[in-house]
Amino acid sequence: MLCSETSPMNNPLQSEIPADGLAENTGDEPVENQLVPPRPKQGSWIKFSVSVVVLAVVGYLVVDQLGGMGGEGEEGDSSLVMIHEVEKSDFEAFVTETGDVESSDNLEIVCELEAAPGSRGTRILEVVAEGAIVKKDDFLIQFDDTAVKQRLIEQETLVATDDAAVIEARSEYEKAVQTLNEYVDGTFPVDKETFEADLLTAKSLVKSHVDTLEHLQKMYRKGFVSRLQLETQRENVEIANKSVRVAQIKLEALLKFTRAKSIAAFKADIAKQQAVLTAAERKLDLSRQKLSDLTQQKANCRILAPKAGQVVYANDYERRENVVIEEGAEIRQRQVVLRLPDPTQMRIAAKINDSKLNRIDVGNAVRIVLDIDPDLPLEGELAEVNPFPFPRRWHGAPIEYGAKIRVKNPPKSLRPGQRAKVHIFVDSQPNVLQAPIQSVVERDGKYFCLVKRDDRTWQLREVEVGPNNDSFVVVEKGLAVGDQVALNPELLWEDSTRDIPEPGKDAAPQAADVARTGP
């Protein structure tokens, strides 16, 4: 940003400073009231001599400085003004931020263990050192498997119980099926044959009683039998007919109702036992799956490297509760514990302030300066900018957007977790006039510089400026190559602005001459 107009600063050298550090005796004061230093002892003579020499040197420097000011405090300000000679050079504007080195292709080692009831996670018993180079199948991390072993034993018992329940349910189901088959192929045919036999027997009995009745009727007409015998035989015929009707009803009921009702009942029992068996088998499957999961979790308590690489801890210090990977730390299920990054796919994860977001675009060239090796800058490219900002952790916190910078040709020494400063180039102009940004003062939307004249006086000159890069600003109009501008114009700003019209006046701003004697 350009320097804004500031209030006049009090020059500490404008105050009157005595040239001598000691007060002289004028002769009017009694001798007894003067400060007479005690006669130094022989052992203190060297210290006293050194003090006198130091005071003499300080007095000389103060007098020399005051003499260079020309006698007046205001004229002394110009001696403190720093000067820069304006020149042309290639201009580069960039946005500077800091970030961390990471890999865009990370093999993440995740905790697959369920937390034991009543605990927040699983403790780390042993972990390989961060930065260690590992080969495939090398040891990485050991989690606490005490709870897993206990749950594994309990689950094995539960599986055995569920297996017994399945065996019993299957037996009941098979029994129900056999009962139906027994009725259809055994009980029902027997009952049918029995009822049919009863019907035939009843019909045969009716025929026998009818024949007997006819014979008795003949004998009754001849007077050989009594009327009572004849009536008794008639009753026997009636009874036989009723037996036939009963046998017919039994057979019809068996065929129409009993058979269907019995089959339906047996099928319902089969369906019931089938449901019980299915539930038992499903429960057994779940128990076995749980047993398999626990067996796998027990195996997951010890993690080996799936490929060669360098170990990086998945520490996270941006959470409300910092995540630190270390022995004894509790890890949640599905939490990333370690990373094995691909060293050929390195990038920088940075945060861009929202005030700079509109200056950058994906694809901008980036210069990367590592904190550990600032003399060897790397080249990169802005590959990604998040569309939404990070959540603010407190009210008034800066609004920042995540950005990913791809590193071109990363060196072998580049490691995840290293800090870097990234310069995202947003503009470049070859061979343009530039001035230090602190030499330009803004007032009411206009910009001014203090330019030193050949007669060692200062001139306030309005300039037109272009883009800046936080160090230099492009001067499009108002300065020329070789002009000397003040780097700290605030020392002379009060006098240099006396002739500038106040905002709202019609008079055009004019450059004011500052009659100050320079060095």
CA dist 7 and 26 (Å) reads: 43
CA dist 402 and 60 (Å) reads: 59
**Closest CA relative to residue 357, chosen from 317, 403, 295, 298:** 403
Q: C-alpha distances in angstroms, 335 versus 309, 381, 408, 492?
A: 20, 31, 31, 61
Which DSSP string corresponds to 418-455? -EEEEEEEEEEEEEEEEEEGGG-EEETTEEEEEEE-TT
Place of tokens 């993440």: 108
Q: Residue 387 corresponds to which tokens in the numbers above?
A: 């569309």
Least confident window among 68-72, 83-87, 386-390, 450-454: 68-72
* DSSP-derived 3-state class of residue 364: coil
pLDDT tens readout for residues 320-364: 677 889 999 999 999 999 999 888 889 999 999 999 999 899 999
How much is the pTM?
A: 0.51
- Strands, E, within 104-148: which ranges? 106-110, 122-127, 133-134, 139-143
pLDDT tens readout for residues 143-190: 999 999 999 999 999 999 999 999 999 999 999 999 999 999 999 999
Confidence check: pLDDT of 392 > 90:
no
pLDDT tens readout for residues 229-265: 888 988 988 998 998 999 999 999 999 999 999 999 9
Q: Show the domains of the chain with their CATH numbers.
A: 117-140+303-340 (no CATH), 147-300 (1.10.287)
What pLDDT does residue 15 have? Answer: 33
